[in-house]
Structure 1
Amino acid sequence: MMALKNPSPVFPFRGTLFRLAITLFTGLTTGLAMSPAFALDLMQSYELALKNDPVYRSASKDYEAGMENNGIGRAAVLPKIAAQYNQSANRATQWGAQYTGGPQTSTNWSYPSNYSYVQLTQPIFSLEAFARWRQGVAQADFSQSKFIFNTQDLLIRVLQAYTDLLFSQDQLQFQVAERDAFFEQYKAAKKLNQGGEASITDMLEAEAAYQVADAKVVDAKDAVENARRKFVSIIGEPVEDITKVNKLSGNFRYLNMPTIRFEDWKDKALASNAELKAAANNMEIAKQEYRKNHAGHYPVVNLVGALTTQQSNTVTSINNTTNQSYLGVQVSLPIFSGGEINARSSQAYANYEKAQADYEVTKDKVVTELRKQFDLVVSGKQKVQALSTAQESATQLVKSMRKSVLAGERINVDVLLAEKGLFNTRRDLAQTKYNYLVAYLKLNQLGGSLEVDDFEKVAIYFKN
């Protein structure tokens, strides 16, 4: 039979907290690298993520690139000025009779020539240019809506990774408490078996239960490491000592919501949700793409003006300089393109109808998720209250068990089993609190109103 080692205890988190005030759409913050002398709190984690999270940095650059669509689209309806200059060395041979019936002679010419012009083109009537302009505005709006969503998503991802790390520690504490209880049961069963008061089967069952619990501790340690790595990938700073991460404070107060009616939240979401706005912008982009292709059926009218200068343009104008200016209207009328315009228009319109359907899908998804998070916030308060009461009862039970052991009415195994139940309740209570805080941020994100102020309200819960 293999020897069983006494399990080691799990130490709780500890540390202090400080933070800086920041704005929602600023990516340039003062990076606070983690120092062994300070604890890492939730607000500081967000500040580090603003600077280091690769997903957010990618979203920032995507936003910068997308906003240039404003200028690209506007350029389609603005005047265009082009200039050109040509300098040439020419050699020419002229054949022919000098007079009727005369002999054929040839004349060689060698002369330089140059040609330059400046031309201005201004669209007067171009449905394609107008569609490009509107499409550029819609593309810039899409990039802005997408960036707002990604910025809000960063707040939630930081909180989720932070609480996942804390909960993995809570889970490890519970598994260690469970293993300790089974270890004491095994020792008691072994002692009773040696005294002839318990069968070998009882002892083997107790040993098997302990071994299973010990394996769960190994899994819990792996979960802690995975949660730590995920957290580090977001904040971009090493966290070697996870006891430096601030835990949830004991003073848990419920967050105030601007309204407790779901219909009010739904109206807010339909009007302000960033993901829904992005879907609407995408629909507008597809609509203008159709108009841009359909414009191929219509004429294009441009105002054209130019200044030209040419010297020695031909052999008949050697050493002559000609200056010319003109201003006029240029009309282009498509007649036949082999069916390409019709095909592209049909394709673009199908994509527009797809974008409309995608918008409805996004709206249904947002409303469904909004209802889920709303219910989690409302029911979360009730669950926290119930589990808080259960924790108080479990704490009193442990105290009673310890007194009974001193009085000889109970044994240490009973105390460990009571402590196991207490750890289980504490774990469930912590998870419920984490879920409540995450649901609060998600509810505000879905409602389109999530800002750093809301995140700061949650960050206060992790002050020590």
Structure 2
Amino acid sequence: MLRSIIGSILCALTALMSFCVYPGSIDKEALQIPPLFDETKISPITDGLGSAHNRKKQTIAVATILSPLAFDEEKKSIKAELVSGLLSVYGLALENDAKYRGAIGANRAAQELQPQARSYLLPNMELSLGVAENDRDIRKGGLYRTMGQAGFTSEEMKVTVTQPIYHKDLWVQLGQAKNRIKKADFNLALARQELMVRVAERYFEVLRTTDGLTFAEAEKKAIDKQLQQVRKQFKAGLIGITDVEEAKARYDLAIAREIEAKTQIDNAHEALWQITGKYLPRLGPLGKRMQPVFPEPNDIDRWTQIALAQNIELAIARQSAEVARTEIKRVRAGHLPTLDLVGTHYREGNSADQYGERDTRTSSITLQFRLPIYQGGLVLSQSREAIHRHSHSQALEEMVEISRSVQQKTRDGFWKVRSGISHINALKQVLQSTEIALKAVKKGFYVGTRNSVDVLNSQRKMFRAKKDHADARYDYVLDVLRLKQVAGVLSKEDLVMVNGWLE
């Protein structure tokens, strides 16, 4: 009877429990997010001899703690001849950047919103079982009652199936779930674009600091050479001790700059390691193939229109505003009637007592109509709250603010790219002028018309011009990527383009 049914169900539950995964036996590999980037499809950058180097694929476990000690160990384990391009660095960041991996997890969680919302519109089946041991003591019997004590077992089983037919709020909730999934997809796309820009920024920061160290070492070497010449002239009685001390002071300052440059390059490498999980000693430098060009289209109003249509932050704000708007509908639906189809099967029985054994079965199908009449003003209050949230800062006002910010950033980015081209060309002329001036000053020093201080100052200007010109080229590349990001059109193809400029 029902007892045997209950026993069968308990056995089935026990069997299912044996397959459950407890905290002590969690499959850690199942918890890890699989990589979304196939590194095998990336062509590694070639070195000066034209030979390509394959690098080992290294992944970082979720539980790995990124500490300075781990960075030092990684630094020691890398072969110095490996050269990494922007695409390969981006591939490592896709696999190891914690912020981006977190965005992937959040997106996957959001994909479950629609199945959850849909489940409220599907049939809901519930089974309840009960077994009770009863002791009955009848001390006064009526006309047909038998006095005395009796023990018996009562059992009951109830199966209820409910199918929602009309629930306005549930249908609105399903639409909201779709909007929230779209918002989550936009958030993931935004995280991917932000990762592209962060990778490029940290990649070129390494190149920038590497140039700084190169220029600092070259300047120190040039000053040292000048110092030796000044000392020889001092010994020959051609110049005074002041020139020697000035050259010595410049040399000491060059040593300090070199030390500072080494610290900066270490910091830049560690920042890149933070998002890639790998120490990359050699990065492909920005070559002469990079020729700055005006934005395409070369129209600031057109770029603004593109940004208003495709900027991802603005798209996220639109989805938030839409969810807030439909929330008004969902809350107001609390005033509307609901209709459900309910099917019930009920079985009750007990073993023999004074009146014998009983077994009762009841089945019913009910069309259940509910109409909220008064709920203490709750629905009205919730409706006003939803209207305020949609009409003010949390929805429409926020979207207006983001729209204005996008327009301002787009215009600023457009002019930065355009002015960056002029800046690069101007600094190129400055570099050529300082190189010519240095040669002239050195000749004047040899013939006695210029002193050592003039030579040192001219050298300093030349190295400063070299660094400024290199920095302007890096800034131009980053400004191009940032302009495309704010316009919402940044993609991997842009990284492919930049990667083609590397040597």
Shorter-normalised TM range:
0.7 to 0.9
Q: Secondary structure at the match of 1:450?
A: coil
In the alignment, structure 1 residue 29 sits paired with structure 2 residue 38: yes
Q: Counterpart in 2 of 1:90? A: 134
Q: Secondary structure at the match of 1:97?
A: coil
Q: Which moved more, 1:165-174 or 1:143-152?
A: 165-174
The aligned runs of 1:446-457 (5 Å cut-off) are 446-457=486-497
Q: Among residues 395, 416, 424, which one is paired with 1:384 in the alignment?
A: 424
Q: Distance in 2 between matches of 1:359 and 1:314?
A: 72
Q: Distance in 2 between matches of 1:433 and 1:317?
A: 99
Q: Does the 8 Å contact 2:347/2:359 carry over to 1?
A: yes
Q: Does the 8 Å contact 2:230/2:452 carry over to 1?
A: no
Q: Among residues 155, 163, 166, which one is paired with 1:125 in the alignment?
A: 166
Residue 144 (structure 1) shift: 0.5
Letter aligned with residue 301 of structure 1: L
The aligned runs of 1:49-448 (5 Å cut-off) are 49-99=93-143, 106-178=147-219, 195=237, 198=240, 211-239=252-280, 242=281, 244-254=282-292, 257-312=295-350, 319-352=357-390, 353=392, 354-398=394-438, 417-448=457-488
Total equivalences in the alignment = 432
Q: TM-score, normalised by structure 1?
A: 0.81
Distance 1:66 1:106, change over 3 A: same
Q: Distance in 2 between matches of 1:255 and 1:118?
A: 73
Q: Does the 8 Å contact 2:155/2:349 carry over to 1?
A: yes
Q: Distance in 1 between matches of 2:354 and 2:320?
A: 60
| Unpaired segments ≥5 residues, structure 2 | 1-33, 40-55, 59-77
Q: Distance in 1 between matches of 2:453 and 2:228?
A: 9
Letter aligned with residue 159 of structure 1: A
Distance 1:211 1:340, change over 3 A: farther
Q: Distance in 1 between matches of 2:255 and 2:296?
A: 47
Q: Distance in 2 between matches of 1:204 and 1:416?
A: 12
Q: Secondary structure at the match of 2:357?
A: coil
Q: Any idea what the Cα deviations from partners look like across 1:7-59, whole Å, max 9, x if unmatched? A: xxxxxxxxxxxxxxxxxx97243473465442122111111111111111111
Q: Distance in 1 between matches of 2:160 and 2:400?
A: 48
Letter aligned with residue 465 of structure 2: T
Distance 1:52 1:78, change over 3 A: same
Q: Counterpart in 2 of 1:18? A: none
Q: Any idea what the Cα deviations from partners look like across 1:328-362, whole Å, max 9, x if unmatched? A: 22223334444444443333333323221111111
Residue 317 (structure 1) shift: 8.4
Letter aligned with residue 348 of structure 2: Q
Q: Distance in 2 between matches of 1:316 and 1:218?
A: 101
Q: Counterpart in 1 of 2:15? A: none
Letter aligned with residue 318 of structure 2: A
Higher relative contact order (CA 8 A, sep 6+): 1
Q: Counterpart in 2 of 1:10? A: none
Letter aligned with residue 384 of structure 2: S
Q: Secondary structure at the match of 1:320?
A: strand
Distance 1:268 1:117, change over 3 A: farther
Q: Distance in 2 between matches of 1:43 and 1:55?
A: 19
Q: Which moved more, 1:63-72 or 1:290-299?
A: 290-299
Residue 447 (structure 1) shift: 1.7
Q: Any idea what the Cα deviations from partners look like across 1:378-420, whole Å, max 9, x if unmatched? A: 2222222222333334444455566667777767765554443
Q: Secondary structure at the match of 1:312?
A: strand
Q: Any idea what the Cα deviations from partners look like across 1:95-125, whole Å, max 9, x if unmatched? A: 543329xxx8534343333322332222233
Q: Does the 8 Å contact 1:177/1:419 carry over to 2?
A: no
Distance 1:199 1:132, change over 3 A: same
Distance 1:35 1:320, change over 3 A: farther
Q: Distance in 1 between matches of 2:416 and 2:352?
A: 85
Q: Distance in 2 between matches of 1:245 and 1:430?
A: 15
Q: Secondary structure at the match of 1:88?
A: strand
Q: Distance in 1 between matches of 2:473 and 2:275?
A: 22
Q: TM-score, normalised by structure 2?
A: 0.75
